[in-house]
Chain A
Amino acid sequence: MVLGMARAATTTDAFNAVAEPRRREIIALLADRERPVGELVDALGIAQPQVSKHLRVLREVGAVAVRVEGRQRLYRLNGEALKPIHDWVKTYEQLWTERFELLDDVLDDLKKEEGDGSAD
């Protein structure tokens, strides 16, 4: 309803990070469990340099974290960094929740009217 044209500046990075479909796929894969790059490459079916590029963007906004184990680099999801996106959608949801609660009241009155038949 009230269109806030600008998003809060502090959340922009996370929004940009998930704007790319491949990066959303990576997030979905990492939501299950920690994975080495090789697994992501196999699952996504794109070349490793591209996967690494996406992982770098996600790492820069804190959406994923990496640790080295032996010769492997293991990536995992950091849900906290994605919270702004969740919160942002929530406010839109709140507006509609508020509207629909009022609509419930309207429907209650309409049902009563119908129950009264042609009383008025």
Chain B
Amino acid sequence: MAVPTSGTAVVSTPTDEQILITREFDAPRALVFRAYTEPDLVRRWWPGRRGEMQVCDIDLRPGGRWRYAMVAEGGFDVAFHGEYREIVPGEKVVFTEIYEMPDGTLSEATLNTATFTESDGRTTLELLTQTSSKDVRDVILGSGMEGGVQEGLDILEELAIELG
């Protein structure tokens, strides 16, 4: 486990159509940028503790495509893809993001901007998601829900086994 934990991700909603996630890391921004853009490194954090990443394609150049896919615990597939729009090495990545829904349809694309700012050897990562409407924004904000509910159910199941 990492010793320097910088606390929780802070999620805010600057406008009705936006989500902003902010987190500080105890590392220079060149390293945070690498961890954010190199497939072998992304594989280690993007799935969280909720499954294993099957696909991590990153073609890091303007117009280049990316695709992330994982099998979450419980067996369902989760996949996202998009296109890079702007890359400033070590500083900024602008990209579109589309959710591939389980029924095969695609969500609307959001425009995401990841910004890396360094101060005193620490890096603040800001992830800004721009959606087309408040409804789309709210659906994305609800996206942790399913995992959270699943975790709750798992704990209940463990308790039931212990009690049984």
Contacts and interface: CB of A to CB of B under 8 A. Distances in A.
A91 B35 contact: no
A105 B27 CA distance: 11
Contact of B145 (A7, A102, A107, A111): A7
Contacts of A1: 47-48, 50, 70, 72, 78, 143-144, 147
B138 interface: yes
A66 B120 CA distance: 51
A15 B138 contact: yes
A98 interface: yes
Given A1-B70, A2-B143, A106-B44, 10 more contacts: A2-B147, A15-B138, A93-B144, A95-B144, A101-B5, A102-B44, A106-B35, A106-B45, A108-B3, A114-B31
Label chain B's interface by main secondary structure.
mixed
B31 A111 contact: yes
Contact of A2 (B32, B44, B72): B72
Interface in A1-57: 1-5, 7-8, 15, 19, 21
B49 A96 contact: no
B99 interface: yes
B31 A101 contact: no
Contacts of A93: 8-11, 144
A51 B85 CA distance: 44
Given A98-B49, A106-B45, A3 B25 contact: no
A4 B1 CA distance: 30
B134 A19 contact: yes
Nearest to B145: A4
Interface string A85-100: 0001101111111111
Contact of B141 (A92, A94, A101): A92
10 contacts: A2-B76, A3-B78, A15-B138, A96-B21, A99-B48, A100-B25, A102-B49, A103-B25, A103-B36, A107-B25
Interface residues of A, number: 33
A19 B78 CA distance: 28
B153 interface: no
A107 B141 contact: no
Contacts of A111: 27, 31
Interface string B47-85: 111100000000000000000001010001010000000
Nearest to A100: B23
Nearest 7 Cβ contacts at the A-B interface: A104-B2, A96-B9, A91-B144, A102-B45, A4-B145, A91-B148, A4-B146
